Structure 1
Amino acid sequence: MTEFQLVLIIASIAAFFTYLGAPLAEAFEVPHLVISAALQFAAGVIMALVAFSLMPPAIRLGPLTWVLGAFFVGGLLYVILEYVSVWALSKPDLAQDNSASLGLYIGILVDLLIDGMVIGIGSTLTIKTGLLLALGMSISTAPLAFVITATAKRQGVPRRRRRLLSFLFIAAIIGGAVIGYLVLRNQSLEVRLILVALASGFLITTITQGMIPEANKEGEPGFAGVLFVGGISLYALMTLGLQ
């Protein structure tokens, strides 16, 4: 078995565990309180991913001006995508889908794509590293699959489209792993760190502009802050465990 085939297997493991969040959301009627809690937890995990794993090496080892510029551009990219989605939803022929937050959907799918890329890059070091990253990240990405499916279901998105979303979870992680392994491994360290900063800016803006507002749409639950911090703490513990 080739190394590339092993990477595909590793990415498939992460994609499978992530996908499990979708049928769980389909099987139960989930109140907004639960969705809000899951979003807060997932937002904390993503915040920790950026703060502990992505940005420190980019700032420490990368060209600082380019890294900070890429971080800003990443956030700007999310804002532009959100603006375009709102503009598209304002068209009369899409009026029935006005409640759907495309910005949130795009943000989470891009997060899964980035997680897949990290798995692919980790696999270029050692297969064991890629496997550990896949197992660790699947713990944090499964809530995202649950959240986006439950949110789509609650907003009246047709079942066929929800099923397509669940397939996109798998495609994003496996596709990201393939990109990370085949493409980014051949780039210089500086280029990879700049791309990491770009992804980090996008993810942070996803949290502040998409996930947290969606979580608080119907009033913030009293334990929301605890779940957000809990997500950060859990990822920090997993990071320590993988070292």
Structure 2
Amino acid sequence: MDGFVLVLLLAALPAAGNFAGGLLAEVLNVSDRALSLALHLAAGIVLAVVGLELMPEALTATPAWVPVLALAAGGLGFIGLERLIDSVRRRLAGDDSGSGPWAIFAGVGLDLFSDGVMIGAGTIINPTLGLLLALGQVPADAPEGFAAIATLRRAGVPRGKRILLAASFGIPVLVGAALGYFILRAAPELVTVSVLAFTGGILLCVVIEEMLTEAHDVATSRLGPVVLTVGFALFAAISAYLG
């Protein structure tokens, strides 16, 4: 059980980084242009997570077509996620913020879930590896938390609710860490990487269909493509030096 406590402590690091990014969105007066650029930055980071972390690991499994199929199935997962969000919104009286901000929020939560799975599984292999994985996620998760909460703020979600939502980002990473530690550690590698690939497929759809669409709806900027690639490069550097 001491090992599981360590996993939870390590998983709390990216959750704290994400929460800090969300709090920063509360104290700063975020302009439309700044929000658009923040969404581009977060999109670049998530694309890098999928392209440089999730899929390279998934493609080492045999047969490789299973995680590839799981990645494609992530598109169906995204459709299901959108329907779930719309259903919840209809049940919430007075919520007319649209599904875009909530889909972005859910996408960031899924990214944290994948972080937790990797931290849980990595800590089993070597506690030092788990620590490096956790530390490497912190600078990547902070911009995502900022973008998610700033988008909800622009959509008119009440401040108290936004702070609770920012704090709730700790749930998916802790759940993912527990899943990686207790369940996926005993599962075949093919199952573990397929779960991560499926999550990656959903994240790709969230980035393209929601994050970038929302960024362009909020404001247009010539710096958008630059910030997008900076986000990708930021995570690439983290992966290269802390991965």
Paired residue type of 2:13: I
The residue that corresponds to 1:186 in the other structure is 186
The answer to whether residue 48 in structure 2 is matched with residue 48 in structure 1 is yes
The residue that corresponds to 1:99 in the other structure is 98
Q: Where do residues 105-120 of structure 1 align in structure 2 (5 Å cutoff)?
A: 105-120=105-120
Does structure 2 retain, via aligned residues, the 8 Å contact 1:107–1:210?
A: no
Does structure 2 retain, via aligned residues, the 8 Å contact 1:25–1:150?
A: yes
Q: Where do residues 1-243 of structure 1 align in structure 2 (5 Å cutoff)?
A: 2-86=2-86, 89=89, 91=90, 94-99=93-98, 101=100, 102-243=102-243
Q: Secondary structure at the match of 1:186?
A: coil
Q: Secondary structure at the match of 1:157?
A: coil
Q: Deviations over 1:92-133 (max 9, x none)?
A: 964542435322221221111111212112111111111111
Return structure 1 stretches of 4+ with deviation > 6 angstroms: none
CA drift at 1:10: 1.1
Does structure 2 retain, via aligned residues, the 8 Å contact 1:75–1:203?
A: no
Q: Secondary structure at the match of 1:62?
A: coil
Paired residue type of 1:29: N
CA drift at 1:204: 0.8
Report the more deviating stretch, 187-196 or 75-84: 75-84
Superposed CA RMSD: 1.9
CA drift at 1:3: 1.6
Separation of aligned partners in 2, 1:34 and 1:96: 25
CA drift at 1:62: 3.3
Separation of aligned partners in 1, 2:134 and 2:91: 42
Does structure 2 retain, via aligned residues, the 8 Å contact 1:112–1:169?
A: yes
Return 5+ residue gaps in structure 2 as ranges. none
CA drift at 1:180: 1.3
Separation of aligned partners in 1, 2:189 and 2:98: 42
Q: Deviations over 1:134-178 (max 9, x none)?
A: 111111111111111111111110123212211211122222212
- Relative distance call for 1:130 and 1:218 in structure 2 (3 A) is same
Separation of aligned partners in 2, 1:103 and 1:14: 20
Separation of aligned partners in 1, 2:9 and 2:60: 32
Aligned length, in residue pairs? 242
Separation of aligned partners in 2, 1:46 and 1:151: 16
TM-score by length of structure 2 reads 0.92
- Relative distance call for 1:239 and 1:98 in structure 2 (3 A) is closer
Aligned identity (percent) is 33
